[in-house]
Amino acid sequence: MKNPGLQISLTMMLLLVACAAGNIWLFRQGVLWGILGLNVTKHVLTAYLCQALGVNASRQPSQPAEPVRISNP
């Protein structure tokens, strides 16, 4: 079966809303806490994006890559 790609699930939508609400609350506590919360949210969303795109998938290329020839002008 093919991976659905960037289709967002209900769980991911709830996680996104929770991260946004947490960031708003952290910024009310202080700027340093808000920046720390944004950093955590960024890493969580980047990990989800990499997982959805299949960055760590073990695939064998169908043909080996050919070397690029660069000509001198």
Q: What is d(CA 7, CA 51) in angstroms, rounded to the nearest whole number?
A: 12
Residue 19 class from Cβ within 10 Å (0-12 exposed, 13-18 middle, 19+ buried)? middle
Structure tokens at 40: 């955590």
Instruction: Encode pLDDT of 36-57 as tens digits.
Output: 999 999 998 888 888 877 777 6
Q: HSE of 67 in the Cβ direction (CA atoms, 13 Å)?
A: 3
CA proximity to 41, closest of 12, 19, 13, 15: 19
- The pLDDT of residue 65 is above 90: no
Compute CA distances 60 → 10, 53, 66, 67, whole Å.
32, 16, 15, 18
Q: What is the pLDDT of residue 33?
A: 95
